[in-house]
Homo-oligomer: A and B are copies of this chain.
Amino acid sequence: MRAAAPRNTREVDRFDLETDVAVVGFGSAGACAAIEAAKAGARTLVLERGWRGGGTSAESTGQIYMGGGTPLQKACGFEDDPDEMHKYLMASCGPGADEAKVRLYSDSSVEHYHWLTGHGIPFDMGFVDYQVSTMPEPGKSLSYTGSERAWPYRDIAVPAPRGHTVQNASGEVMMQVLTKAAQDAGASVQTGARSETLVVDDDGRVVGLVARVGDTEQVVRARRGVVITTGGFVHNEDMMRWYAPDLLRCGRPIAAEGGDDGAGIRMGIGAGGAAIRMDAACIVLGFAYGNRKNIRGILVNSCGQRYVNEDVYQSNHGEIALKKQDGQVYLIVDDSIYEPVPTGVDEELFSLPVAAVANTGEELEREIGMPKNSLSHTLAVYNEYAARGEDPHFHKERCWLQALDKPPLAAIDLRVENTPYSLFTLGGLRTRPTGEVLDTDGAPVAGLWAAGRSASGIPAQGYNSGLSLADCTFSGRMAGVSVAGTSN
């Protein structure tokens, strides 16, 4: 498919369909854009290439990052504040976090919670014990899904749990609610419609798009504008190679089958949109999902050095390990921590290979092939401090500190070749908080909006679980409101 080059109106002899707003893609961003556009009175058409909506959002666990004092946070006894949320997101979504987007979302997050629940998204009013899990449990939707309590973030902003997981961790239910809400609001949905390229007029304004429905080409006129919400590009190997080749080492794309192939981003680029931060990704190294006690172990690189506090969130560990340690890292645990089979999670996803087992640090470093007096020194120093409840090197929170002194010791193999890192892309079209797509000079591309992972959004670089759905749903809404308010 050639998505980049737009079609000029002079090459279009007819429009098969006319609408005010065309939304490309029917994942969470597309659904929320359609809801808002239709509610604002715009005739809205959603084009989805699958046989139904949902996209990658429907396959997710339905975690949505919200805060600032939501009813769920309050019900669980947590205080939160938009300013603290803003400070945390600016620190954890950088470098180069988009301050305008972070500010708007931090200030609007409580309203967004009400908007979602008002449409029927269900949350359970309970909190998951941080030391037990970051995943939701029956009856408990609230959990820590970021590094709020971890150094250095806890010194930057007052920690609060902000992961709001849809009941039963069902992204599927969430998308059923949102796609139905879009249709209830009056949006038309055409499934099996693959958008192929944008249509632009002589002034460069986006006035519609070309979609393929079966063997038929359908030219759609969108009087107010087109909203691109087709996700990221983790399934497009060419784009990965050109924009972010190091990410190809990660083994496990997070994306719906056939989705996230970068089509929308390329269409947007073709119409003049700038694509930014195309190197950025959420890279999850979930070494503690299956066994939360693993955080009591130590992460070391190929020289046996610790390099991070192990209690930073799982979605940061992949990026740190891959980009800063060349993906060559191990988790060292003792017998009090080790669990051969993870409990309560998908075994295939969360089993971790063991590189070596030994009774002492000296033996273990020899087994793995680390230099003498490397890992063993790290262990000795760590144990000495941990026994006193201290971690002067990386400031892991006290609740995770224990000396690793119950042999045997195990080195769990977290090298990227042996433990696939999970991955989706964060780079995309540059947009205003309204979703208007900007060109390389910073001027809007008339008639074009983008939302969700087709845009560079709130998680510009760093990631916390739930931020992508938060950004998809919220930026979708903003784009829907903005495009509907455009005079046609």
A contact residues, total (Cβ < 8 Å): 51
Contact across chains for B204 and A5 when beta carbons are under 8 A apart: yes
Q: A323-B323, A440-B3 are in contact. Are A95 and B269 (CB under 8 A)?
A: no
Contact across chains for B96 and A245 when beta carbons are under 8 A apart: yes
Inside 8 A of A279's CB, which chain B residues have their CB?
277-279
User: Of A25-33, A339-347, A370-378, which stretch is located at the interface?
Assistant: A370-378
Task: Report the separation of the CA atoms of residues A243 and B278 in the bound assembly, to the nearest whole angstrom.
Answer: 8
Inside 8 A of A442's CB, which chain B residues have their CB?
238
A324 within 8 A of B: yes
A197: nearest chain-B partner, CB-CB? B441
Contact across chains for A95 and B4 when beta carbons are under 8 A apart: no
Contact across chains for B392 and A381 when beta carbons are under 8 A apart: no
Task: Report the separation of the CA atoms of residues A4 and B4 in the bound assembly, to the nearest whole angstrom.
Answer: 16
Contact across chains for A441 and B2 when beta carbons are under 8 A apart: yes
Inside 8 A of A393's CB, which chain B residues have their CB?
303, 371, 374
Inside 8 A of A8's CB, which chain B residues have their CB?
202
Number of copies: 2
Q: A residues 341-379 with Cβ under 8 Å of B?
A: 371-374, 377
- Name the prevailing secondary structure of the A interface residues: loop
Q: A96-B241, A245-B94, A371-B392 are in contact. Are A4 and B270 (CB under 8 A)?
A: no
Inside 8 A of A269's CB, which chain B residues have their CB?
269, 274, 439-440
A233, chain B: closest CB distance, angstroms:
10
Task: Report the separation of the CA atoms of residues A325 and B278 in the bound assembly, to the nearest whole angstrom.
Answer: 22
Inside 8 A of A243's CB, which chain B residues have their CB?
276-277
**Which of A2, A10, A202, A393 has the most B CB atoms < 10 Å from its CB?**
A393
A232 within 8 A of B: no
Inside 8 A of A325's CB, which chain B residues have their CB?
324
Contact across chains for B246 and A95 when beta carbons are under 8 A apart: yes
A443 within 8 A of B: yes
Q: Mark A310-335, 1 if CB is under 8 A from B, else 0.
A: 00000000000001110000000000
Q: Mark A240-270, 1 if CB is under 8 A from B, else 0.
A: 0111011000000000000000000110011
A324: nearest chain-B partner, CB-CB? B324
Return the contact of A5 from the options B278, B306, B323, B443 (Cβ within 8 A): B443
Inside 8 A of A275's CB, which chain B residues have their CB?
275, 440
A47, chain B: closest CB distance, angstroms:
20
Task: Report the separation of the CA atoms of residues A202 and B279 in the bound assembly, to the nearest whole angstrom.
Answer: 33
A430 within 8 A of B: yes
Contact across chains for B440 and A266 when beta carbons are under 8 A apart: yes
A469, chain B: closest CB distance, angstroms:
24
Give 5 A-B contacts (CB < 8 Å), ordered by A residue. A3-B441, A4-B441, A95-B246, A96-B246, A323-B323
